[in-house]
């Protein structure tokens, strides 16, 4: 029965992906495609964040560093060599390697301690990366940033769009499989009751480090895609704002789910886009972050489980009620 | 019957207070031993020494003749000593089935499977369901652990302990904090485990009358010392035991 359900949801997701894949053939508007690509990229990034926050229960304040590592690895590789697909792949591989080393080190240093140590260390490390990117001008060009060339094949924004979509789909199904695997179930158990997981004979630290590394790798891929769509990189990819965006998207969308962060990313990117456009109407819209702060507070108070979590709860209740009614009517009939 | 766990002059002192004092005893394989004694007699401390939560100040613990005094709790549970706690400790927001399944998975040593196939689960789930049946909780498998009644949580905990398939089960007051109506169900579960006959069970219990007919042997602890040990009938008739329970006995009298 469970298997059946699993397949059903897969079909729904595949349906969504097909619809999304058709968009560039229907509407070729550059700004629309760009907006959706940003949603995809931040969706990937927020998913990787949720693997830590929502599934394992680890708070990270420095997730931007993996994003930035991904962004700079790709950008520098393409800039110092030719802008070909081969160097793009090399750049992405470098991103994955560096991100996994950094996340592994951050993990083994602090994950055996209480969670806030990880939060603090990642915050410090991300700060370090930001400063390094600003000072190491020969490579990063500091806060001025630099423009990069991208492979010819990706110059067409429909192709780029499809690339982002397929990476998102791949990572989504991959991460979903991961969270439903035996290892994923242990991660959830750690979130629920760390001490009990330990006493069942699981080595909790190993699992947390694994989660940290996978999350770092996925985040670095998001960073790599980000510079490809912008064709420009500067130190803002390491900024704390990037981490906060991921946190916001995850919480608004729904902690502990994979669809939630994507929906959260969509909402925030769209809101960002529209609110910035409204800055002609009133100056407050230029400071849209103020509005977001308010929304954030309201969301935490009234929808602590996020959009997906709240919806799932409502649906679950209704299903239960229906079941109860069915049972009652059966009783009456018998 | 050979001894599966034995202790030699096991003692632990908290400051000047000897919580467990020179206890030397043997627990036989596949037997049912109850540890009784008034409040503060050192029963739970004795358990903590057996399961490794505490290290003795003096004396040693053996498992199948091997000295395990220096083993950590995790290692002891891996070689075969599992214990339940007085305080209920489950995964609150997971389903009952998932709680047990996690324990089954750990026992099967499936620890770092990232992309395993679902057929894996079916095996685990079936085993978890069987265990839930043993503890009479199979009708609740889909509910969240947090929504269970206290007695049901204790049953769930026993199922998780059983899933680890340890040879020795140390049960620390499984009926603690339970309403009187719930107690018989737990006893039934324990009886069912005993009847399978493949485990060594050591049980701490306050309500002496409840476990007497189950026990092969009864250990009476008083003020940290092993006051008496023997069959339930012997213990009932033992005068020192009776006076210990009636409160007439003080540690000075024992010297």
Residue B218 lies in a domain: yes
Q: Do B101 and A202 touch (CB under 8 A)?
A: no
Q: Would you place residue A45 in the very low, low, confident or very high pLDDT band (cuts 50, 70, 90)?
A: very high
Shared domain check, A182 and A262: yes
Residue B73 lies in a domain: yes
Residue B185 lies in a domain: no
* Residues sharing a CB contact under 8 Å with residue A41, sequence separation 6 or more, in sequence order: A164, A222, A225, A226, A229
Q: Would you place residue A7 in the very low, low, confident or very high pLDDT band (cuts 50, 70, 90)?
A: low
Q: Per-residue pLDDT for A28 more than 70?
A: yes
Shared domain check, B70 and B8: yes
Asked if A252 contacts A26 with a C-beta cutoff of 8 angstroms, the reply is no
Shared domain check, B44 and B70: yes
Question: What is residue B221's predicted lDDT score, i.e. its pLDDT?
Answer: 86
Shared domain check, B39 and B60: yes
Place of tokens 């199922």: B159
Residue B70 lies in a domain: yes
Would you state the structure tokens that stand for residue A154, as one six-digit string?
């990706």
Residue B124 lies in a domain: yes
Three-state secondary structure of chain B: CCEEEEEEEEEEEECCEEEEEEEEEEEECCCEEEEECCCCCCHHHHHHHHHCCCCCCEEEEEECCEECCCCCHHHHHHHCEEECCCCCCCCCCCEHHHHHHHHHHHHCCCCCCCCCCCHHHHHHHHHHHHHHHHCCCHHHCCCEHHHCCHHHHHHHHHHHHHHCCCCEEEEECCCCCCCCCCHHHHHHHHHHHHHHCCCEEEEECCCHHHHCCCCCEEEEEECCEEEEEECHHHHHHCHHHHHHHHCCCCHHHHC
Shared domain check, A185 and A325: no
Number of domains in chain B: 2
Shared domain check, B234 and B111: no
Shared domain check, B250 and B130: no
Shared domain check, A210 and A321: no
Number of domains in chain A: 2
Nearest to A255 by CA among A56, A38, A87, A106: A56
Shared domain check, A192 and A266: yes
Shared domain check, B111 and B45: no
A6 part of contact set with chain B, CB < 8 Å = yes
Shared domain check, A317 and A295: no
**Cα A332 to the center of its chain, rounded Å:** 50
Shared domain check, A208 and A149: yes
Shared domain check, B91 and B76: no
Question: What is residue A225's predicted lDDT score, i.e. its pLDDT?
Answer: 93
Q: What is the pLDDT of residues B82-98, one digit of tens each?
A: 887 767 778 888 888 88
Residue B192 lies in a domain: no
Question: What is residue B247's predicted lDDT score, i.e. its pLDDT?
Answer: 58
Query: Average pLDDT, stretch A217-221?
Result: 95
Shared domain check, B54 and B39: yes
- The domain spanning residue B10 has which CATH number? 3.40.50.300
B120 part of contact set with chain A, CB < 8 Å = yes
Shared domain check, B125 and B241: no
Q: Per-residue pLDDT for A1 more than 50?
A: no
Residue percentage of chain A with pLDDT more than 90:
28
B143 part of contact set with chain A, CB < 8 Å = no
Strand partners, B200: B168
Would you state the structure tokens that stand for residue B81, as one six-digit string?
């000593």
Q: What is the pLDDT of residues A104-145, one digit of tens each?
A: 998 888 777 766 788 888 889 899 999 998 888 888 777 788
**Using a CB-CB distance cutoff of 8 angstroms, which residues of chain A are in contact with residue B113?**
181-183
Residue B248 lies in a domain: yes
- The domain spanning residue A9 has which CATH number? 1.10.3470
CA distance A95 to chain B (A): 22
Shared domain check, B50 and B102: no
Shared domain check, A230 and A313: no
A4 part of contact set with chain B, CB < 8 Å = no
Shared domain check, A202 and A82: yes
Low-confidence ranges of chain B (pLDDT < 70): 1, 86, 111-120, 245-255
Q: Per-residue pLDDT for A51 more than 90?
A: yes
Shared domain check, A316 and A282: no
Shared domain check, A247 and A326: no
- Please give the residue of chain B at the shortest CA–CA distance from A190: B91
Q: Which domain holds residue B251?
A: 1-80+171-179+201-255
Measured at the CA of B67, the angle between CA B163 and CA B204, to 5 degrees, comes to 50
Shared domain check, B128 and B14: no
Q: Which domain holds residue A323?
A: 305-334
Shared domain check, B175 and B161: no
Write down the ipTM of this complex. Answer: 0.73
B98 part of contact set with chain A, CB < 8 Å = yes
Give B38-45's long-range contacts (Cβ < 8 A, gap of 24+).
Answer: B38/B222, B38/B244, B38/B245, B38/B247, B40/B223, B41/B221, B41/B222, B41/B223, B41/B224, B42/B221, B42/B223, B42/B224, B43/B204, B43/B221, B44/B86, B44/B172, B44/B173, B44/B204, B45/B12, B45/B19, B45/B20, B45/B224
CA distance A182 to chain B (A): 6
Shared domain check, A257 and A314: no
Nearest to B61 by CA among B221, B199, B171, B168: B168
* Residues sharing a CB contact under 8 Å with residue B124, sequence separation 6 or more, in sequence order: B101, B104, B105, B108, B110
Shared domain check, A110 and A15: yes
- What's the CA gap between B166 and B78, in Å, rounded? 8
How far lies A254's CA from each of A119, A187, A292, A313, B2, in Å? 20, 17, 16, 11, 56
Q: Would you place residue A69 in the very low, low, confident or very high pLDDT band (cuts 50, 70, 90)?
A: very high
The H or E element that residue A258 is part of is none
CA distance B212 to chain A (A): 30
**Of B100, B105, B129, which to mutate for an interface test with A (greatest number of A Cβ within 10 Å)?**
B105
């Amino acid at each position: 029965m469970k298997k059946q359900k699993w397949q059903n949801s897969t079909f729904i997701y595949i349906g969504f992906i097909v619809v999304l894949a058709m968009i560039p053939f229907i509407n070729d508007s550059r700004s629309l495609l760009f907006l959706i690509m940003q949603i995809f990229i931040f969706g990937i990034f927020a998913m990787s964040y949720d693997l830590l926050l929502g599934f394992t229960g680890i708070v990270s304040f420095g997730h931007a560093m993996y994003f930035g590592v991904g962004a700079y690895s790709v950008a520098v590789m393409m800039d110092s060599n030719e802008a070909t697909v081969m160097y793009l792949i090399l750049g992405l591989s470098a991103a994955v390697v560096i991100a996994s080393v950094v996340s592994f080190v951050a993990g083994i240093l602090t994950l055996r301690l209480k969670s806030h140590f990880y939060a603090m260390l990642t915050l410090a490390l991300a700060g370090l990366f930001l400063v390094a990117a600003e000072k190491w001008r020969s490579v990063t060009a500091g806060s001025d940033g630099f423009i990069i060339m991208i492979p010819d094949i990706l110059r067409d924004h429909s192709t780029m769009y499809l690339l982002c979509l397929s990476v998102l789909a791949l990572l989504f199904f991959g991460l979903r499989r991961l969270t439903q695997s035996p290892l994923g179930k242990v991660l959830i158990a750690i979130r629920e009751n760390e001490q009990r997981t330990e006493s069942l004979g699981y080595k909790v630290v190993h699992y947390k480090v694994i989660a940290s590394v996978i999350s770092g790798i996925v985040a670095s891929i998001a960073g790599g895609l980000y510079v490809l769509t912008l064709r420009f990189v500067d130190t803002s990819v390491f900024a704390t704002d990037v981490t906060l965006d991921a946190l916001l998207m995850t919480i608004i969308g729904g902690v502990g789910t994979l669809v939630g962060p994507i929906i959260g990313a969509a909402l925030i990117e769209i809101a960002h886009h529209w609110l910035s456009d409204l800055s002609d109407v009133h100056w407050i819209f230029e400071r849209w972050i103020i509005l977001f702060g308010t929304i954030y507070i309201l969301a935490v108070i009234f929808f602590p489980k996020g959009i997906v979590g709240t919806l799932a709860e409502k649906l679950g209740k209704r299903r239960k009620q229906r079941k109860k009614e069915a049972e009652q009517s059966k009783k009456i009939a018998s | 019957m050979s001894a599966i766990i034995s202790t030699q002059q096991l003692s632990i002192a908290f400051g000047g207070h000897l919580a467990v004092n020179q206890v030397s005893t043997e627990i036989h394989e596949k037997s049912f031993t109850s540890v009784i004694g008034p409040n503060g007699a050192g029963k739970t401390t004795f358990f903590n020494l057996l399961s490794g939560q505490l290290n003795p100040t003096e004396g040693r613990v053996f498992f199948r003749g091997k000295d395990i005094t220096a083993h950590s709790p995790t290692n002891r549970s891996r070689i075969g000593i599992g214990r339940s706690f007085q305080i209920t400790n489950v995964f609150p927001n997971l389903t009952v089935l998932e709680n047990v399944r996690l324990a089954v998975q750990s026992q099967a040593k499936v620890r770092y499977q990232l992309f395993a196939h679902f057929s894996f689960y079916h095996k685990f789930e079936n085993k978890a369901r069987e265990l839930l049946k043993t503890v009479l909780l199979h009708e609740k498998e889909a509910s969240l652990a947090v929504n269970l009644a206290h007695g049901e949580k204790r049953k769930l905990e026993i199922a998780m302990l059983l899933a680890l398939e340890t040879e020795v089960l140390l049960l620390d007051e499984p009926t603690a904090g339970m309403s009187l109506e719930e107690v018989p169900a737990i006893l039934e579960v324990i009886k069912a485990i005993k009847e399978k006959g493949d485990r060594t069970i050591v049980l701490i219990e306050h309500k002496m009358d409840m476990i007497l007919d189950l026990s092969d042997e009864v250990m009476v602890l008083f003020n940290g010392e092993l006051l008496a040990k023997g069959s339930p009938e012997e213990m009932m008739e033992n005068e020192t035991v009776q006076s210990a329970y009636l409160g007439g006995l003080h540690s000075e009298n024992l010297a």
